[in-house]
């Protein structure tokens, strides 16, 4: 091979090498661009993940471990009427009263643990007439529960399970809630049909505050409730309503629905009322009956004209002798215009404010006596309901204005059940506070003395009672 050919070959190799180097140099920026794009994509995913982990997610994760499922074996009273037609029931019901018998059923609800040693909050209607209560935690652990205290008017119950070191929820403040703020409802809708012990989370806002409404299903009257559009379905009752800080601000109680499912109108008991319930039950084992002693009525145009006063506020129609109101100087004929810094426009507002009072609270009112404006602070006392007892574990009291108002009675005389001992014969027969005893056997009961005479020998006897307008018979 000639020297010239060798030089050309070497030159070609050098040119090829230089070309490869230049090619790689030109390709490297493109490779780095892909690499930078990958870095940007990873960074973007991290940012999206951070955005997904918002306040609602954090709040749900914070409270979720403390939300429990409650399975209850209940004994309910089943009513059987000899007449299917309302006309016959109305005219012949006194002669052929309805018969009632007890039946055991299984029901489901939710609750929330509020302490590491096993105190659980739920609704009273979830555990009423319960013979057995089982609680399942989100981690599938199960415990037997017992009732520490329950109150039908508030529809609240405090349960206890024997365990330590449990996850528990923080209780917030329901007095600073804002209409429109985000809330989260947690619970176990439809029980274990979803085959999971972990709670369901739904989100909505606070739709309204201080709602008063009557529940059509159980004839309960709820006052000063939180309204929310967070979905609450059967089985959610007793679960917590939570703010975005992960604090419990209410206990989910019931819904308004025409279909049986959630339609965006749910109600929860404010947590500040629940806190007072907890304090009362922990210290006294029950809710002491608050007593103010003021009875009010609407000021109609006719009343305003006759009294020569404004049609504003509510008129004091009666003051119980020896009551806190009487001791504070309130008299019949006074016109109350403000209570606890809230304007009183009608008796409904007055009843809503006073229904949230507990023994020991102070009710500050501003009222007019003639043209004079006065203000007083009334310290709420306990109303003593002793009543006359019996071997059956039932206590009755003569019907008075207070008891008629408390239980919504249409009777001016007679006796009303004020207390039923748990586990007693009367409890097993289905007696409940508010029942009016009309007859024992063939004896008409008009007062406590009639009751004591008739109950002294109760062998082979029966009761005729009135419960919310329904007349029925209970056999011993």
Rounded Cα gap, residues 329 and 365, in angstroms: 12
Q: Which of 69, 110, 125, 207 is catalytic?
A: 125
- Average pLDDT, integer, range 212-221: 68
What count of other Cβ atoms lies within 10 Å of the Cβ of residue 377?
Answer: 11
Same fold, 62-283 and 290-382: no
CATH class entry, domain 394-475: mainly beta
Which pLDDT score, from 0 to 100, does residue 159 have? 93
Asked if the model's pLDDT at residue 86 lies above 60, the reply is no
In terms of DSSP bridges, do strands 130-136 and 314-319 run parallel, antiparallel, or are they unpaired?
A: unpaired
The tens digit of pLDDT for each residue in 427-461 reads: 777 888 888 988 888 888 888 888 888 877 666 57
Residue 356: partners with Cβ closer than 8 Å, 6 or more residues away: 223, 224, 273
- Which CATH architecture is the domain 290-382 placed in? Roll (2.30)
Annotated catalytic, 125? Answer: yes
Answering whether pTM is above 0.85, one says: no
Number of H helices, E strands in the chain: 11, 27
Q: Which of 207, 237, 323, 390 is catalytic?
A: 237
Annotated catalytic, 99? Answer: no
Annotated catalytic, 237? Answer: yes
In order, the DSSP letters of 267-333 are EEEEHHHHHHHHHHHHHHSS---EE--EEEEE--HHHHHHHT--S-SEEEEEE-TTSHHHHHT--TT
The tens digit of pLDDT for each residue in 366-423 reads: 999 888 889 999 999 988 766 677 777 888 888 877 777 777 787 778 888 888 887 7
Rounded Cα gap, residues 299 and 305, in angstroms: 10
**Average of per-residue pLDDT values in the chain:** 81
Rounded Cα gap, residues 266 and 243, in angstroms: 16
The tens digit of pLDDT for each residue in 340-362 reads: 988 998 888 888 888 888 999 99
CA distances from 241 to 111, 154, 217 (A): 11, 16, 22
Q: Which of 155, 229, 334, 466 is catalytic?
A: 155
Q: What share of the chain is helix, strand, coil (3-state, %, to 5)?
A: 30, 35, 35
Asked if the model's pLDDT at residue 102 lies above 50, the reply is yes
Q: Are 241 and 190 in contact (CB under 8 A)?
A: no
Asked if the model's pLDDT at residue 35 lies above 50, the reply is no
Q: Which two tokens stand for residue 85?
A: 């037609």
Residue extents of the structural domains in the chain: 3-52, 62-283, 290-382, 394-475
**CATH label, 62-283, candidates 3.40.710.10, 2.40.10.120, 2.70.98.60, 3.90.800.10:** 2.40.10.120
Which pLDDT score, from 0 to 100, does residue 94 have? 56
For residue 429, the surrounding DSSP H or E stretch is helix 425-429
């Amino acid at each position: 091979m000639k020297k010239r050919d060798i030089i050309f070959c070497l030159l070609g190799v050098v040119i090829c090498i230089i070309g490869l180097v230049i090619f790689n140099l030109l390709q490297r920026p493109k490779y780095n661009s892909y690499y930078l794009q990958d870095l940007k994509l990873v960074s973007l995913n991290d940012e999206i993940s951070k955005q997904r982990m918002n306040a609602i997610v954090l709040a749900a994760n914070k409270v979720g471990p403390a939300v429990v499922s409650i399975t209850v074996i209940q004994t309910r009273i089943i009513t059987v009427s000899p007449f299917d037609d309302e006309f016959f029931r109305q005219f012949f019901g006194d002669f052929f009263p309805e018969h009632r018998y007890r039946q055991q059923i299984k029901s489901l609800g939710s609750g929330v643990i509020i302490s590491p040693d096993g105190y659980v909050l739920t609704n009273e209607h979830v555990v009423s007439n319960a013979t057995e209560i089982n609680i399942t935690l989100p981690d599938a652990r199960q415990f037997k529960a017992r009732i520490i205290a329950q109150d039908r008017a508030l529809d609240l119950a405090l349960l206890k399970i024997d365990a330590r070191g449990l996850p528990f929820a923080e209780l917030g403040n329901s007095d600073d809630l804002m209409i429109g703020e985000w809330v989260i409802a947690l619970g176990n809708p439809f029980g274990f049909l979803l085959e999971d012990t972990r709670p369901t989370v739904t989100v909505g806002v606070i739709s309204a505050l201080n709602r008063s409404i009557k529940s059509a299903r159980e004839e309960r009257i709820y006052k000063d409730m939180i309204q929310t559009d967070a979905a609450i379905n059967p089985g959610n009752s007793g679960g917590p309503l939570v703010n975005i800080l992960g604090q419990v601000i209410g206990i989910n109680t019931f819904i308004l629905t025409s279909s049986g499912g959630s339609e965006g109108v749910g109600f929860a008991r404010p947590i500040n009322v629940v806190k007072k319930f907890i304090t009362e039950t922990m210290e006294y084992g029950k809710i002491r009956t608050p007593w103010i002693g003021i009875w009010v009525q609407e000021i109609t145009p006719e009343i305003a004209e006759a009294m020569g006063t404004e049609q504003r506020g509510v008129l004091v129609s009666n003051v119980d002798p020896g009551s806190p109101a009487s001791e504070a100087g309130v008299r019949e004929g006074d016109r109350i215009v403000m209570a606890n810094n809230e304007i009183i426009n009608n008796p409904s507002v007055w009843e809503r404010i006073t229904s949230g009072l507990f023994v020991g609270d102070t009710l500050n009112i501003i009222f007019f006596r003639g043209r004079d404006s006065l203000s007083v602070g009334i310290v709420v006392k306990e109303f003593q309901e002793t009543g006359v007892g019996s071997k059956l574990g039932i206590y009755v009291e003569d019907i008075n204005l207070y008891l008629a108002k408390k239980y919504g009675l249409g009777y001016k005389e007679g006796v009303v059940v004020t207390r039923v001992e748990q586990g007693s014969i009367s409890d097993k027969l289905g007696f409940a506070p508010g029942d009016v005893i009309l007859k024992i056997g063939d004896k008409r009961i008009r007062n406590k003395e009639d009751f004591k005479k008739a109950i002294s020998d109760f062998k082979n006897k029966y009761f005729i009672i009135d419960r919310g307008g329904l007349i029925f018979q209970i056999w011993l």
